[in-house]
Amino acid sequence: MGLKPSPPVLIYALDLFGVAVFAASGAIAGIAAQMDLLGVLVLATITAIGGGTIRDVLLGSRPVFWIRDSGPIYTIIAATIATLIWVHFLPIPTKALPIADALGLAVFAISGAQVAEKAGCRPLVIVLMGTLTGAGGGVLRDVLSAKVPLILRQDVYASAAIAGITVYLLLRAVRAPTAAAFAAGFAIVAGTRLAAIAFDLSLPVFSLPQ
């Protein structure tokens, strides 16, 4: 995630939406793993801000984004409470959550790429930092809940982020407006991930000959 001191209202709102979605997915993973209340909150927090925190540490950005702005922390707490109440009274929205997760991935991947871009990183590093921002929290969530991380399986997840960030960088290279490049990159990430969900697409698996 890439919150800045005075971000545009729309981008800031999208960032907080991504935080809420990832926090909800972390909370649900904690509930499924039968964690206590503190464990659920910790897993929700790590899922929501883990990738952006690692990115800021690697880039030497001090303080990290959620210390500069407490909005994400309040959003995580609210999303976790809402998730706990929801699953107590209603079924888990198994169809809606992956869609929202795809949108959160798109927001984080492109905003993370923008943070690395502003830090003067080279294109390959920008792609890596954006992908880490989008997928890093999910990796930590899966590891802590004793699952194989999603990006290490066949799912089109990190590859969707890489594709969208690449499009963003190509448009920036030809001097496209930042807003247009952001929108195009977002659309590629979200569209690729949603298509993978809708049509059950996956990356090829390579196996050793018998």
Give tens-digit pLDDT for 11-36.
Answer: 788 889 889 999 998 999 899 889 99
Cis peptide bond prior to 204, omega within 30° of 0: no
| Domain-located, residue 190 | yes
CA distance 89 to 163: 39
First CA to last CA distance, the chain? 43
- Given a cut of 70, whether residue 207 has pLDDT beyond it is no
Which range marks the domain in which residue 136 is found?
A: 9-199
Q: Is residue 208 part of a domain?
A: no
Mean pLDDT of the chain: 89
204 assigned to some structural domain: no
Q: Which of 107, 104, 112, 153 is nearest to 133 (CA)?
A: 112
The token pair at 94 is 């198994």
How many domains, in total, are found in the chain? 1
In a domain? residue 100: yes
Q: Does residue 207 lie in a domain region?
A: no
**Tokens (6 digits) for 185:** 């990159």
80 inside domain: yes
Give CA–CA dist 25/11, Å, rounded: 21
Q: Which residue has the higher pLDDT, 201 or 65?
A: 65
Q: Is residue 182 part of a domain?
A: yes
The dihedral of CA 73, 151, 167, 54: what is its sign? positive
3-class secondary-structure state, position 94: coil
Tell whether 133 is covered by a domain: yes
pTM for this predicted structure: 0.88
Is the model's pLDDT at 2 over the cut of 60? Answer: no
